[in-house]
Amino acid sequence: MDPDKLKPRGTSTALVIFFFLYLFYLPPPPPAADQLVLVAHPHLHHRRRKRCADHLRWAASLASHHNATLLLTVDHNQAAGCANFTTIQNAVDAVPDYALTRTLIAVDTGIYREKVVVWPNKTAITLHGRGNLNTTVAWNATSNSTGGSTIYSATFTVLAHGFVAYNITFQNTAPPPEPGDAGGQAVALRVAADEAAFHWCGVYSAQDTLLDETGRHLFRGCYVEGSIDFIFGNGRSLYVGCTISSVAMATAAGEEVTGSVTAQGRASAAEKTGFAFVRCSTYLGDVVAAEGWNDWGDLGRRQQLWFAEYACWGPGSGTADRVAYARQLDSRQAAPFMDVSYIDGTQWTLPPLLPLPPTAVRI
């Protein structure tokens, strides 16, 4: 039989038409590398818009809460594009000089690896993070690495009047120095200005964590961690409901290394400076030496300042072996140090001064 007679009618025509359509619909060749256009998935845009909207709502609510006239926002995630700045220092630098009204800097979640200075002309700043476990300013510097200067090792320095911080952590990530190691001082927070307040903040380092240098200061519900002399300076400061955590390095059996939790730098009995730790009763663990206090062998210090305790409890609170110059206060003697009047705080501390839960301060 003729093979041509077995071929269905119209097959050749169909093949030609199919080939023509294939050529017509063939996708164009890919563009050259320099012509590529990247298109993000629409869901990514949606998530970014939602994140930015949440960030701005949060920041705006804080601005109203703090009665701020200027709002600046910070987010280290540059790709998100939600904030005015990606670093805290740039936001601080943008604050008007010697402002009489408050500027709020709202800092989103993240670790901000930078060294920040609030210069004297950057007044009336409130710095507000997303929580002291979520927003951290961190830097690694020591006295040795900054030319032998302890103050310049600070991660965060406040030199301007009226600074307030909420819900943020300041950390110096330098490793703990070995006992007797000179130059290992690593300040996390330095406060050298008047009328500064810190609410629910964290301050972490090892030696010389918090330089409470000069001025009247309030630390409320904060966590301060260190090993040697880790709250020091000559400020006039009230610590209310704070946790003071000693993380001194363990020593070999039979070896003893001592260090101070606080080292107040008051130089004259005429000064009104001092550190008051309140709310209270205060738990003293067995990390506290039986003698309690040390004047570093300088008898003159006993005329310049005095060392006192009130209603402390715990294994380290026994007074039988305290140094002779330590004082045990009664309620009347302790009263002047127990509230914000000690730092003239009724004149300058800003709301919200929310009540803290009635728990003991652990030192």
Taking Cα atoms as reference points, which of 217, 105, 194, 215 lies closest to residue 203?
217
**Residues near 149 by Cβ (< 8 Å), separated by ≥ 6?**
143
Total length of the chain: 363
φ/ψ region of 47 (left if φ > 0, alpha if ψ in -120 to 50, else beta) reads alpha
In whole angstroms, what is the distance from residue 283 CA to residue 363 CA?
6
AA identity, residue 150 = T
97 is catalytic: no
In whole angstroms, what is the distance from residue 223 CA to residue 199 CA?
10
Active-site residue among 108, 229, 295, 344? 229
In whole angstroms, what is the distance from residue 330 CA to residue 35 CA?
81
Task: For Cα atoms 124, 127, 128, give the angle at the middle one, nearest 5 degrees.
Answer: 140
Instruction: Judge whether 70 and 95 are in contact, CB under 8 Å.
Output: yes
Catalytic amino acids? 229
